[in-house]
Amino acid sequence: MLIAGIAAFLVVAGVVVVIAMRADRTTDAAAVDGAPIPITSTSMYRQPATAIPTTRTTTPPPSTTIPPGYREVTGPGGIIVGIPRDWQVRPGAVPSNQQADDPTSPGDLLRFGGSPSTTSSLLESVAQNETDNSGIKDGYQRLKLQRASTQAGLEAVEWEFLFAKDGGTRHARGLFWRLNGTDFVVYASGSTTTWPRVQPVFEVMVRTAGPK
C-alpha cells in the first residue's frame, strides 16, 4: 500500500502544480521520508486539525517533452517520469515506489510509483498520511494540502510541507493522482538550503509524468 509505507518517503508550493501524465501507459504509487507510506494506509503524526481547501484548481495543458539533461524512467505501477540523467534509481522504501538520489547533495531525493487505489477519496488518503506519519512528526509544518484537477479531469492532490530530520529542516512536495484504480505519486525532498534547486527538478518530473 502506498501511504502506510511513507514514514521513509513523501512531497507543493503556492503555485498550482502542472500534471503532465502520458496517455497509453498503465498504472500503481508512493512513500515519504522517515518511513514508507502507501497512499492506502494510516500511519502518521496527528497535528492540530486544519481546514483543507476544497476549491478545485485547473492546471495548464501537460507537456511530455523530456528536457536536455533528463532521461525517462519507468517505475512501479507503470508510472513514467523524467528525472536528471545522473540521478541513480534504486528501490524505494516500499515496493510501490522507486527513489532517485542527487549524486551531488546527499539526502536530496525523488520518489515515484503507483499502487492500487483505496475506497477513500484521494484527498482523504493523503490527509490521513499527514495525521499518522511519524516520520515527519518533528517540526512538521503544512504549506499546502488541497485538491487539484487536470485538463484530463483526473482526481489529484497537492501536498507540500516542512519537517525536521538529521538536525536540519527539510522541504517536501508531492503530487498524487488517481487513474483506473491506481494511485500514482511523484515526490521530492531536499533541505531548505537546496530546495530552490530541487523544486525545478520536481516540476520537470510532474510535467513529464504518466500515465494520464
Q: Judging by DSSP bridges, how do beta strands 80-84 and 88-91 pair with one another?
A: unpaired
Encode pLDDT of 179-209 as tens digits: 999 999 999 999 999 999 999 999 999 999 9
**Confidence at residue 4, expressed as pLDDT on a 0 to 100 scale:** 40
Q: What is the pTM of this model?
A: 0.73
- What's the CA gap between 165 and 192, in Å, rounded? 11
Is the backbone peptide bond immediately before 211 cis, with ω within 30 degrees of 0?
A: yes
Q: Is the dihedral of CA 20, 23, 25, 26 positive or negative?
A: positive
User: What pLDDT shows up at residue 197?
Assistant: 97
Q: How many domains does the chain have?
A: 1
Rounded Cα distance between 186 and 75, Å, is: 11
Q: State the average pLDDT over residues 17-39.
A: 43
Asked whether residue 101 is assigned to any structural domain, the reply reads yes
- Residue 45's domain is classified under what CATH number? 3.40.1000.10
Residue 132's domain comprises 8-208
Q: What is the pLDDT of residue 29?
A: 43
The pLDDT score that the predictor gives to residue 82 is 97
pLDDT for the residue 53: 55
**What three-state secondary structure class fits 203?**
helix
Cell readout for 38 is: 502507501
Per-residue pLDDT, 21: 43
In a domain, 1, yes or no: no
Residue 173 lies in a domain: yes
Is 3 among the domain residues? Answer: no
No. of helices (H) and no. of strands (E), the chain: 2, 11
